[in-house]
């Protein structure tokens, strides 16, 4: 029986083995041993799935739905969901300014809708995006749900393939100078990085493979992950 | 015609029919890899995950769909008449005309859902051909089959189904539903049934987590639910697919209540577009937008009474609503399906 909750259960049960990441040199030296506090924007979308994956790699997820939740965060995740809904709620909750400030300088990972929020440009949105990564994103660019798919994605930082779950996914139609392509599918960029901001058009949080989150926290954010065997 | 029959046979036999294989083949991705049922199901549940924390609004035309999107809905449900109007109109309620669904698809960027009658697998095939994002096999429409629901694993489009209790929820998931919602009592503006259904499901899940392995088979028999799913709920304490609320939500407080009781997102049917004065379209549109925005914010801030107080202040009057005692047995929509 296909099971999502089952995935989650397995994920936490196997937290030591799934989170193994090939030894690559961290961009920043590990600075602390305590579990990093990772804020997950929880206005709408699959923030709970990111929370499960973060716990699996030994990080502490913190739900962000109001400005006061931004204090004391080490990194941030912008989850999948409906990007237009999230943008409207960013304004309605007064979170925009704080989140914008955070994602421009601090470690942030965005998946799917999160990539759209981090992009400098995207189409058909009610307001400006956060602009942490100089790319143009086209929303829902593969078509409606019947065109959603799973397929291996090439991600050299993880030493090869990772399963890409693409759900009404966006496409990256322009990659600006200073932006590094970190993942490709069928020759197309599906993952990018600029500074400490990372964005993917697919959903690693919907699989039981936590390597992407572990890589982000260790190699981009520079945390030593306790409870995870390197 | 034969193709449609085979879908029916597949269900009766509980086996993969030729059509089942064909449906899976349709799921082949660009590299020609055929998605297994489990991979397909991951994509379906994945979309349901993306809708969590959001509000899905019933809309009857492209203009209402725009109001919904503008208010921050995470998806819209396209239907010709909202449930309160279906109640008034009587007669047989069917799938909406594809042209009205297409107009809505053209007008908004958020996912578009639509309803089929319980067991009406051809209406479902038509919606799949329309590339609808989610199909609601709904008791709000007149059932087409009083015994069998659609075998939802055969479709690429994910399904949501209503339930009144845990057994019903797990039967629908067994058939391939990628999202469960309470039935509530649609079109009444009365949240009492949705509350009953959500509490029933949640308390039964809690009970399962306290049972020992040797008690689960008897419980599965009692629930009339697939044993493996009963075991899974006993282990995790939650449904294997997202669990949303629907049926009778009319105010921001109603929506927040459902979230507090364990819903992961909320459907609002008549509660938005029954609001306002139909004789004054401009002010009605304004009132509907305000109600829609308020419900979206209430779902995002369901655990913050201080914010809910402001969100609920000075809103246009909610739909009048119906007390359930005034409805006769045959007017209760939640009784449809099993």
Tell me if A39 sits within 8 A of A71, measured CB to CB. no
Instruction: Indicate whether B37 pLDDT > 90.
Output: yes
**Cβ contacts of B335 within 8 Å, gap of 6 or more:** B139, B329
Q: Which of B35, B54, B111 sits opposite A44 (nearest CB)?
A: B54
Chain B positions touching A209 (Cβ under 8 A) are: none
| Other Cβ atoms within 10 Å of B1 Cβ, number | 6
Chain A positions touching B124 (Cβ under 8 A) are: none
Residue B125 banded pLDDT, cuts 50, 70, 90: very high
Chain B positions touching A42 (Cβ under 8 A) are: 53
Measure in Å the smallest separation between the Cα of A215 and chain B Cα atoms.
23
pLDDT in tens, B224-259: 999 999 999 999 999 999 999 999 999 999 999 999
Give Cα separations from B90 to A229, B84, B137 (angstroms): 64, 10, 19
pLDDT at B34: 79
This prediction's pTM: 0.89
A-proximal residues of B, 148-167, CB under 8 Å: 156-158
A125-129: Cβ within 8 A, 24+ apart: A125/A83, A125/A84, A125/A87, A126/A84, A126/A87, A126/A88, A126/B70, A127/A87, A127/A88, A127/A91, A129/A87
- Nearest chain B residue to A111 by CA distance is B50
pLDDT at A34: 83
CA dihedral A194, A26, A51, A102 (to 10 degrees): -40
CA dihedral B261, B188, B278, B317 (to 10 degrees): -50
Edge-to-edge strand ranges of the sheet holding B243-244: B243-244, B179-182, B159-163, B134-138, B112-117, B75-78, B55-59, B266-268
Mean pLDDT of A169-189: 98
| Other Cβ atoms within 10 Å of B221 Cβ, number | 11
In this predicted complex, what is the ipTM?
0.90
The strand pair at A188-194 and A180-185 is best described as antiparallel
Buried/exposed A68-94: b ≥16 CB within 10 Å, e otherwise:
ebbeebbbbbbbbbbbbbbbbbbebbe
Chain B positions touching A165 (Cβ under 8 A) are: 42-43, 46
Q: How big is the A-B interface in CB pairs under 8 Å?
A: 151
A-proximal residues of B, 82-141, CB under 8 Å: 105, 109-111, 128, 131-134
Tell me if A83 sits within 8 A of A113, measured CB to CB. yes
For B225, phi and psi rounded to 5 degrees?
A: -125, 155
The reply to whether A205 belongs to the active site is yes
Q: Which of A8, A151, A168 sits opposite B47 (nearest CB)?
A: A168
Tokens linked to B218? 């008897």
Q: Does B51 touch chain A (CB under 8 A)?
A: yes
3 state SS of B4 = helix
Q: What average pLDDT is seen over chain B?
A: 91
- Nearest chain A residue to B51 by CA distance is A45
Tell me if B144 sits within 8 A of B118, measured CB to CB. yes
**Which of the following is catalytic: A50, A52, A185, A205?**
A205
For chain A, domains (ranges, CATH) are 34-220 (3.40.50.880)
Buried/exposed B136-167: b ≥16 CB within 10 Å, e otherwise:
bbbbbbebbeeeebbbbbbbbbbbbbbbbbbb
Measure in Å the smallest separation between the Cα of A70 and chain B Cα atoms.
16
Tell me if A210 sits within 8 A of A14, measured CB to CB. no
Tokens linked to A97? 């300014």
Instruction: Indicate whether A20 pLDDT > 60.
Output: no
Residue A27 banded pLDDT, cuts 50, 70, 90: low
pLDDT at B31: 52
Cβ distance B35 to A150 less than 8 Å, yes or no, reads yes
Chain A positions touching B73 (Cβ under 8 A) are: 85
pLDDT in tens, A77-120: 999 999 999 999 999 999 999 999 999 999 999 999 999 999 99
For B115, phi and psi rounded to 5 degrees?
A: -105, 145
Measure in Å the smallest separation between the Cα of B207 and chain A Cα atoms.
18
| Other Cβ atoms within 10 Å of A172 Cβ, number | 23
Look-up of token digits 């979170």: A95
pLDDT in tens, B57-96: 999 999 999 999 999 999 999 999 999 999 999 899 999 9
Instruction: Please state, in angstroms and rounded to a whole number, the distance separating the CA atoms of residues B228 and B231.
Output: 5
Distance of CA A179 to the CA centre of its chain: 16
Measure in Å the smallest separation between the Cα of A5 and chain B Cα atoms.
5
| Other Cβ atoms within 10 Å of B12 Cβ, number | 10
| DSSP classification of residue A221 | S
Instruction: Indicate whether A11 pLDDT > 90.
Output: no
Chain B positions touching A140 (Cβ under 8 A) are: 109
Best of B53, B55, B289 to mutate (most A CBs within 10 Å, chain A): B53
């Amino acid at each position: 029986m296909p099971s999502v909750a089952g995935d989650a259960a397995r994920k936490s049960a196997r937290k030591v083995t799934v989170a193994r990441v090939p030894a690559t040199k961290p961009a920043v030296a590990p600075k602390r041993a305590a579990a990093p506090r990772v804020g997950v924007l929880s206005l709408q979308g699959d923030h709970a799935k990111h929370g499960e994956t973060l716990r699996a790699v030994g990080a502490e997820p913190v739900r962000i739905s109001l400005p006061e939740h931004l204090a004391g965060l080490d990194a941030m995740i912008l989850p999948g969901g409906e990007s237009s809904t999230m943008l409207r709620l960013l304004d309605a909750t007064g979170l925009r300014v704080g989140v914008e400030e955070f994602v421009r300088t601090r470690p942030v990972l965005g998946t799917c809708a999160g990539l759209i929020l981090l992009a400098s440009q995207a189409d058909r949105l009610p307001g400006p995006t956060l602009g942490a990564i100089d790319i143009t994103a086209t929303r829902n660019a593969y078509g409606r749900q019947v065109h959603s798919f799973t397929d291996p994605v090439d991600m050299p930082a993880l030493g090869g393939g990772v399963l890409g779950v693409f759900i009404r996914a966006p496409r990256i139609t322009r990659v600006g100078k200073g932006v590094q392509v970190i993942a490709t599918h069928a020759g197309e960029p599906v993952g990018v990085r600029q500074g400490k901001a990372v964005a993917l058009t697919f959903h690693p949080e919907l699989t039981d493979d936590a390597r992407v989150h572990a890589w982000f926290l260790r190699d981009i954010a520079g945390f030593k992950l306790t409870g995870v065997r390197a | 015609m034969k193709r449609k029959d085979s879908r029916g046979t597949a269900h009766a036999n509980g086996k993969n029919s030729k059509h089942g294989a064909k449906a899976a083949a349709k799921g082949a991705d660009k590299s020609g890899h055929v998605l297994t049922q489990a991979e397909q199901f991951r994509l379906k549940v994945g979309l349901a995950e993306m809708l969590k924390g959001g509000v899905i609004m019933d809309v009857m035309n492209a203009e209402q769909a725009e109001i919904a999107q503008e208010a921050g809905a995470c998806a819209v449900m396209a239907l010709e008449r909202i449930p309160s109007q279906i109640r008034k109109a009587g007669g047989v309620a069917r799938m909406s005309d594809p042209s009205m669904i297409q107009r809505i698809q053209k007008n908004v960027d958020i996912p578009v859902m639509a309803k089929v009658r319980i067991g009406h697998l051809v209406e479902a095939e038509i919606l799949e051909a329309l590339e609808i994002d989610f199909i609601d096999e709904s008791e709000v429409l007149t059932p087409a089959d009083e015994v069998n629901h659609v075998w939802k694993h055969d479709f690429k489009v994910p399904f949501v189904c209503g339930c009144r209790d845990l057994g019903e929820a797990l039967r629908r998931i067994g058939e391939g539903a990628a999202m469960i919602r309470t039935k509530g009592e649609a079109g009444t503006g009365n949240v009492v049934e949705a509350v009953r259904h959500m509490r029933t499901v949640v308390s039964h899940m809690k009970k399962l987590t306290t049972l020992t392995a040797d008690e689960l088979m008897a419980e599965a028999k009692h629930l009339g639910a697939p044993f493996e799913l009963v075991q899974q709920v006993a282990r995790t304490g939650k449904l294997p697919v997202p669990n949303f609320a629907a049926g009778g939500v009319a105010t921001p407080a109603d929506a927040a209540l459902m979230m507090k009781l364990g819903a992961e997102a909320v459907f609002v049917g008549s509660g938005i577009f029954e609001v306002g004065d139909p004789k004054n379209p401009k002010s009605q549109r304004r009132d509907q937008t305000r109600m829609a925005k308020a419900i979206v914010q209430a779902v995002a801030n369901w655990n913050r009474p201080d914010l809910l107080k402001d969100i609920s202040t000075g809103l246009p009057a909610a739909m009048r609503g119906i007390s359930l005692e005034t409805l006769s047995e045959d007017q209760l929509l939640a009784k449809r399906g099993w």
